[in-house]
Amino acid sequence: MKKINIGLFGFGCVGSGLYKVLEESNNLDAKITRIVAKNPNKQRESTTIPISYNSREILEDESINVVVELINDSGEAYAIIKEALQRKKHVVTANKKVLAENLAELITLAKENGVSLLYEAAVAGSIPIIRNLEEYYNNDLLTTIEGILNGTTNYILTKSNAGITYSEALQEAQDKGFAESDPTLDVDGFDSIYKLTILLKHAFGAVVAPSELLTVGIRNLKKQEVKFVKEKGFRIKLIAKAFVIENKLFAYLAPHIIESSHAAYNVDNEFNAVLVQAAYADKQLFYGKGAGSFPTASAVLSDISALRYDYAYEYRKTNSEIRNLSQNLLLKVYIGSENVNTLSEFEFNEIEDLYIGKNYSYQIGFIKLEDLLKVNWNKRNDLSLLIFSENKLPNHTQKKTISNLNLLSNKTLSS
């Protein structure tokens, strides 16, 4: 592409970051020629580019060949991305929700119109994970991709570990510009699951709807779990995971209990990390800032820069044999509850530990992923689910519930 004329939608945290970063990147033949923002009454830093409030001014401007979409409203963002592609403009976006929910359609649209749709900033902020999955892991040797994909929740978990309350930590994350405008998307895990959905396409060629995947956020974690984990020298991290066993693909998101040997153990605050495992290469860790104005803008800048040589994702895994998602797996979990009777709702294949107290009980053991999917964990504030790293394909071991166990023969403690 000769010259890059950018129409920028959104002048918030990331949009204004991009503006500054581009101003300082003199050797890039790219400039923002128009900005469209949402709120005319918002106090903004002054720019040399006039800000307008009418999307037609970018979409109908034929001199603009690249649309950078960085707005909050996902309905509006979807319409902008779609029209821009139809008008044969390249699109760079950080909108994970729009991408995750409409990936197949938008990829087709970009292809039909002969333009690029790039979105490195949509997953793990500044970490160049999509480009690496596309270019380096361009074969079927990948077996696992897992990581911390949300800066806000990692910030909250880090601060909770240091004794700061959940609401104070969330407020700090909002003040620093990490959180979504609706922070429910962060704390209930939706932001992470959108990102995992996008990674599934690039890592394994799988197109899944985010709603198919187990999504458990951090809202209902209790002080008892934080204490349990701390006492054992473990940590809680909100981990998104996708892996292949015997040609079946598994993927889910939940708070995990991890040991100090886990690559994500020391990934704190707004940092993200993506651990990739592949045959021959073994483990590789990508680490960097997952949220914030400049780190996210840097990923957007990299996409803009890639357009200089007409870069487009090739989706090389599309015909991979490993494309089908399965939920037939046993996961080792910790389920905590304020009411011990609730625990008997769950059918465990193996129980490793059981604690029964007056106001809080927990059970650790293996349970089917399919069964975990039947519970709306984010809405059940009496329950919490944490997952360990161990999992296995089901065999025919005897199913157990608390009610068919002889409780007296187990470790039964009172609080």
Q: Stretches 110-118, 179-187, 200-208, 393-401: which one binds ligand HSE (CB under 6 A)? A: 179-187
Q: By three-state DSSP, how is residue 260 classified?
A: coil
Q: DSSP E strands: which ranges in 29-174?
A: 30-36, 51-52, 66-69, 90-93, 117-118, 142-148
Query: Tokens 């909108």 identify what position?
Result: 95
- Choose which of 120, 134, 146, 186 interacts with ligand HSE (CB under 6 A): 186
Q: Which of residues 64-103 bind ligand HSE (CB under 6 A)?
A: none
Residue 140 DSSP code: T
- Choose which of 179, 240, 242, 299 interacts with ligand HSE (CB under 6 A): 179
Query: Closer CB to ligand HSE, residue 199 or residue 291?
Result: 291
Least distance in angstroms from the C-beta of 170 to ligand HSE:
11
Q: Which of residues 144-173 bind ligand HSE (CB under 6 A)?
A: 150-152
Position 290 contacts ligand HSE (CB under 6 A): yes
Query: Closer CB to ligand HSE, residue 17 or residue 365?
Result: 17
**Over the range 346-382, which residues count as b (16 or more CB within 10 Å of their CB) and which as e?**
bebbebeebbbeeebbbbbbbbbbebbeebebbeeee
Q: Name the residue among 224, 214, 219 with its Cα closest to residue 157.
A: 219
Query: Closer CB to ligand HSE, residue 65 or residue 215?
Result: 215
Task: Give, rounded to a whole angstrom, the gap between the first and last alpha carbons of the chain.
Answer: 68
Least distance in angstroms from the C-beta of 391 to ligand HSE:
25
Query: Tokens 């197949």 identify what position?
Result: 104
Query: Closer CB to ligand HSE, residue 99 or residue 343?
Result: 99
Q: Name the residue among 2, 320, 319, 311 with its Cα closest to residue 131.
A: 311
Dist CA 60 CA 120 (whole Å) = 26
Binding mask 102-141 for ligand HSE (x = CB under 6 A): -----------------------x----------------
Residues in contact with ligand HSE, counted by CB under 6 A, come to a total of 11
Query: Closer CB to ligand HSE, residue 179 or residue 254?
Result: 179
Least distance in angstroms from the C-beta of 293 to ligand HSE:
10
Taking the mean position of all CA atoms in its chain, how far away is CA 186? Answer: 9
Query: Closer CB to ligand HSE, residue 124 or residue 340?
Result: 124
Position 293 contacts ligand HSE (CB under 6 A): no
- Choose which of 69, 146, 191, 225 interacts with ligand HSE (CB under 6 A): 191
Q: Name the residue among 292, 314, 1 with its Cα closest to residue 131.
A: 314
Does residue 195 have an active-site annotation?
yes
Catalytic residue among 89, 195, 332, 368: 195
Query: Tokens 């400049």 identify what position?
Result: 294
Pair 179, 170: CB distance under 8 Å: yes
Position 291 contacts ligand HSE (CB under 6 A): yes
Q: Which residues are catalytic?
A: 195
In the complex, the residues that contact ligand HSE under the rule CB under 6 A are: 125, 150-152, 178-180, 186, 191, 290-291
